Chains A and B, each alone.
With several copies, the nearest count.
Chain A
């Protein structure tokens, strides 16, 4: 199982849940994670496909080929706002 943190509009699209728990086998990559999310939450999946939502692993934006390991800190990041500047 991996836990994925949600923020902003992705949290809203997941029914205001702050986290998702997904079962994922060893040796899986970010792109596999994206497929699992796409199946469960197609609207988030679409944003992930369009790269409007990015995946971070251990607080860095992750390439789709990065391997996800047990204990990794994973999050879905919608477009940053930064402040009303």
Chain B
């Protein structure tokens, strides 16, 4: 990775900030997202990442595919809050939070958290907190396509 090619000075901080929290239909590359995070600082020594992918089974049922629906505006707002709190509360250098919506095929990417820090302990803590919090507070809903039909998934029955 060339850290010299793209520095903070090359692009407005606001553009970068917006790219670090996204809800999007398209798939993403983990390498590209890591590059986005890493060019924020040369002080980064440990990066913890969580990638959620579409499993072929859920609570004992076969799953053929998933559709995610999100509340445009509120979903982004909650993900921004998660990024800001993770940076502030865990003393990490940068956090990226990315969630897909729309149709997801089995095996595909759903959600990505990247937490970059000087050392690994705080990177792991921030990453794990961020994905737990995302699940609790982000208005995103999951429709599972199963051989028996479609089911809106309630994680808290």
Contact = CB atoms under 8 A, between A and B. Distances in A.
Direct contact of A and B (CB under 8 A): yes
Interface of A: 5, 7-9, 12, 52, 56, 59, 73, 75, 77-85
Majority-rule SS of B interface residues = mixed
A7 B71 contact: yes
A59 B142 CA distance: 19
Interface of B: 45-46, 50, 52-55, 58, 63, 66, 68-69, 71, 73-74, 77, 99, 110-111, 119-120, 131, 134-143, 152-157
Contacts of B131: 85
A67 to B, nearest CB: 20
A78 to B, nearest CB: 6
Contacts of B143: 8
A24 to B, nearest CB: 21
Contact of A82 (B71, B73, B155): B155
B139 A77 contact: yes
B119 A81 contact: no
B137 A78 contact: no
Contacts of A85: 45-46, 50, 52, 110-111, 119-120, 131, 135
A28 to B, nearest CB: 22
Given A77-B71, A79-B155, A84 B135 contact: no
Given A7-B69, A78-B141, A84 B155 contact: no
Given A8-B141, A80-B139, A59 B53 contact: no
Contact of A81 (B46, B54, B137, B142): B142
Contacts of A84: 45, 52-55, 58, 63, 66, 110, 142
